[in-house]
């Protein structure tokens, strides 16, 4: 493939790569070491021909879909890759295990940083992806990366111990094998589902458990195999098409959910004209609500590869850009609510009034409840992903969690999440009313 074809006729790939790296550096997502790796490794070599022209966009690119139209694998957004590589804290000579090979591009970046004195092992459950990644790594000059085909939940014990483990698929549980295969002083970075919201978390060993050193919001294709979560897909209209992903709570019926989201919306403003600095801070409120309102089901809207264009997409796709919540009331009426984001708003667009949008018969009451809770979040100092304390204990452990902690049980682990507790007077009992 010639350079013009690779760049889609839009210029020199090296120049496009340099512009991308400069944007990553200017945003603070990539430091000098990670920036140099992005400059050295050509992303277009790892992409299918039809996506090569988009190689240096700061965007996630889906590279494989399943028979039902759901995404199976993608090339992660470079900005998110940079964040996770910084979280990983790589150094020359490190031995690294990557769970989720995908295209092989991330493994090449890791190999570039760890150098000839390090080693990189990467595993993917899809045989065709593993084969293609192996070929792309060789073509890009990284034939020394070991590519394994298998279920990443078990790690790759034959090459352990590792200094670092990085997971590039959304995980619902943390298999003990990953932690067992880390050497002394090791670190694991993984997109962990916390009440239906994915956080890229860097964990290090702290006595008998693992403690988070950093966390930030993210969104990855969910892991398959033994570590797959129990999330449900609720179709929204004819399929293949749009659907709601439901996590950590009962799934609403497709008919009532579609009817609720198709009907009129009720916007409820937070008390006292509460504003946030932008979408990122609004996402912190969304995370806080998810953790402090455990009785609600968590919803997000997704789409299948072959989804039909038209009114259904226009109607549903922008309803819950941060995700939302659902609950049936005592009369069995469904309420759905989500933080309202004006159309076209970007993350750095400046202050934004906090409001909650309700859908369905119980939507107004649920929106009012969440809007009131937004004031509690504000009084508590606006806790978000950056200040969230996370710890992981082995399954069966009874951690001595502080008051206000959220304890989430998984088959292989116990996740404890905690912010500094708000004053006692901020705690309230929810007695919902239905309008």
Query: What pLDDT score does 74 carry?
Result: 94
Q: Is 73 a catalytic residue?
A: yes
Output the pLDDT for position 237: 82
* Single pTM value for the model: 0.90
Instruction: Give me the residue label for tokens 């021909």.
Output: 49
In which residue ranges of the chain is pLDDT below 70? Answer: 1-11, 306-315, 317, 329-331, 344-349, 420-435
Query: Residue 421's pLDDT is what?
Result: 60
Outline where DSSP puts E strands in 54-208. Answer: 61-65, 71-75, 95-99, 119-124, 146-149, 162-167, 182-194, 197-206
Chain segment 152-198, per-residue pLDDT in tens: 999 999 999 999 999 999 999 999 999 899 999 999 999 999 999 99
> Which candidate in 73, 74, 193, 413 is catalytic?
73
- Please report the beta strands in 86-159, taking only residues with DSSP state E, as ranges in sequence order: 95-99, 119-124, 146-149
What does the pLDDT read at residue 86? 98
Q: How high is the pLDDT of residue 208?
A: 82
**pLDDT in the model for residue 49:** 92
Domain ranges of the chain: 3-227, 232-384
Tell me: the pLDDT tens digits for 43-56? 999 999 999 999 99
Q: Output the pLDDT for position 312.
A: 54
What pLDDT sits at residue 2? Answer: 42
The pLDDT of residue 434: 27
Give the contacts of 236 (CB within 8 A, at least 6 positions apart): 242, 243, 244, 254, 257, 258, 261, 301, 312, 316
In CATH, 3-227 is 3.40.50.150? yes
């Amino acid at each position: 493939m010639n350079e013009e074809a690779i760049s889609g006729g839009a210029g020199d790939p090296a120049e496009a790569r340099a512009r991308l790296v400069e944007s990553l550096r200017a945003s603070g997502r990539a430091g000098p070491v990670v920036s140099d790796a992005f400059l050295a490794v050509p992303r277009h070599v790892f992409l299918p021909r039809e996506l090569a022209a988009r190689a240096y966009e700061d965007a996630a690119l889906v590279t494989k879909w399943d028979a039902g139209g759901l995404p199976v694998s993608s090339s992660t957004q470079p900005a998110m890759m940079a964040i996770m590589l910084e979280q990983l804290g790589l150094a020359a000579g490190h031995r690294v295990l990557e769970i989720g090979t995908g295209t092989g591009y991330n493994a090449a970046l890791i190999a570039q940083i760890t150098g000839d004195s390090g080693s990189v092992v990467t595993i993917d459950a899809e045989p065709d992806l593993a084969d293609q990644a192996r070929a792309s790594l060789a073509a890009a000059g990284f034939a020394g990366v070991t590519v394994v085909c298998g279920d990443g939940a078990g790690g790759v014990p034959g090459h352990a111990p590792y200094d670092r483990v990085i997971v590039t698929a959304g995980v619902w549980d943390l298999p003990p094998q990953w932690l067992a295969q880390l050497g002394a002083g090791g670190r694991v970075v993984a997109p962990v589902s916390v009440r239906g919201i994915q956080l890229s978390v860097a964990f290090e060993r702290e006595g008998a458990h693992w403690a988070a050193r950093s966390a930030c919001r993210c969104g990855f294709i969910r892991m398959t195999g033994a570590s797959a979560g129990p999330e449900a897909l609720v179709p929204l209209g004819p399929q293949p098409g749009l659907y709601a992903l439901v996590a950590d709570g009962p799934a609403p019926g497709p008919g009532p959910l579609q009817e609720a989201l198709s009907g009129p919306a009720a916007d409820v403003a937070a008390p006292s004209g509460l504003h946030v600095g932008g979408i990122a801070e609004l996402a912190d409120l969304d995370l806080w609500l998810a953790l402090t309102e455990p009785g609600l089901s968590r919803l997000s809207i997704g789409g299948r590869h072959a989804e039909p264009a038209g009114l259904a997409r226009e109607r549903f796709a922008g309803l819950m850009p941060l995700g939302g919540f659902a609950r049936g009331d005592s009369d069995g009426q469904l309420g759905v609510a989500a933080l309202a984001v004006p159309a076209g708003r970007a993350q750095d667009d400046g202050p934004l009034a906090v409001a909650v949008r309700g859908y369905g018969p119980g939507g107004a009451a649920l929106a009012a409840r969440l809007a009131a809770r937004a004031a509690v979040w504000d009084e508590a100092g606006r806790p978000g992903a950056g200040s969230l304390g996370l710890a992981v204990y082995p399954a069966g452990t009874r951690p001595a969690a502080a008051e206000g902690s959220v304890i989430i049980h998984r088959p292989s682990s116990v996740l404890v999440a905690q912010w500094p507790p708000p004053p006692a007077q901020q705690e309230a009992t929810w007695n919902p009313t239905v309008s």
